[in-house]
Amino acid sequence: MAISRGLLCCQRVLAWIPVLIITLVVLWSYYAYVVELCVFTIQNGLEKAAYLVIFHLFFVLFVWTYCKAIFTEPAQPSRKFQLSRADRERYERGESPEVQKQILLDAANRLPVYTRTASGAIRYCDRCHLIKPDRCHHCSICETCVLKMDHHCPWVNNCIGFSNYKFFLLFLGYSMLYSLFVAATVLQYFIMFWTGGLPDGPAKFHVLFLLFVAVMFFLSLMFLLNYHCWLVSLNRSTLEAFSAPVFQHGPDKNGFNLGVWKNLQQVFGSQKKYWLLPVFTSVGDGQSFPMKSQSESHNPLLSNDEQWGEGDSDVDYYAATSGNTSVTVEMER
C-alpha cells in the first residue's frame, strides 16, 4: 500500500514537468525580449515603447488563459447520474448481464441520456459508479468522469472538457499570437546580428534563439489551433473525431452538429463581447446537449419525450441548454 501510494505521488509530481518546461521557456522569453532586446538592443525610444506595450498585452492574455486552462477543474456529472445504493448493490450482484443491463436501462429512463456503447448498451462507469451523460468519458489519468471530455493535455496537466475547453482554445490562440509577434519584431534584429550589423554581446545569443523558439512554437500551435477550430465548427470533441458517438439509430459523427454558428455559440456563448476573454460563457450544463438527429426523438430510453422539451424543424432540443504534439487522448474504456 505504501509503495503504491508513493508511486502515485511521484506520478503526480512528474505530471507537472511539461508545465514547468513551458513556464521556464515563457520566463526566459520574457527576459530575452524585454531586457536583452528592448532595453539593451533597440535604440529608438518610440519603437521600444510600442513593442513593450503590445508585447505585454499578448503576454498577459497568454498567461491568463494558460492559468485558466491549468487550474480550472474538469466538470463532473451531478449526483443524479449516480446509481442509488440499492441499484448499485443489485447491479454488482447481478446474476447475469441481462439483469445488469435492465438495471441500467431502468435508471437511465429518468435521465436525459441518448448515447450508447458500441453494442447499444447504456454507458456506465464502473469506477465512478454512474451512468455517463452524453459526451462524458472517464479519464484514467484524472481518475474521474469528465463532462464533454475532449482530451487530457500534458502541457496543462489537466483534462480539457466542458468547463475549460474555451480557455484551452484561447490559450492556443493567444500563445500563437504571442509567438508570432515575438518572431515578427525580432526578425530584423536577428538579421542585423547575423550579418554583423550589431556588435556581439549577450543579447545576440538571446535574440537568435528567441526567433528560433518563437517560429517553432508558432508553427506547432498553428496546426493544433486549426485542428480544434475545425472540431468546434462541427461541434465535435477530439474523442468524437476518433470514435463517432453512438445513438439509438447507430453511430453518427454529426449527431451534435447544429451548424457552424450555433456550434460556435455552444463553446463561446451568445454574447460576442466575452468571446475573447477567459471567462466561462459556454452554453448548457455539460450534461445534456441539443442534437441534430430527428430520429433521436423516438429514443425508447425516455417514456415521456415532452419532459425534455420539443425541438424546432431544424434542431431538436432534448434537454434544456443552460490535447499531435501536445495532446494525449484518453479513449473511453
Active site residues: 153
C-alpha cell belonging to residue 303: 417514456
Query: CB–CB of 148/321 below 8 Å?
Result: no
Q: What is the DSSP string of 238-300?
A: HHHHHSPPEETTEE-TTTT---HHHHHHHHH-S-GGGTTSSS---SS-SS---B--GGGGG-T
Start-to-end Cα distance in the chain: 26
Spatial separation of the C-alpha atoms in residues 39 and 27, rounded to whole Å: 16
Query: CB–CB of 173/268 below 8 Å?
Result: no
Task: Read off the amino acid at residue 105.
Answer: L
C-alpha cell belonging to residue 207: 535574440
Spatial separation of the C-alpha atoms in residues 324 and 166, rounded to whole Å: 19
C-alpha cell belonging to residue 240: 468524437
Which DSSP symbol is given to 172?
Answer: H
Q: How deeply is 124 buried, as exposed, middle or buried, from its count of CB atoms within 10 A (0-12, 13-18, 19+)? A: buried
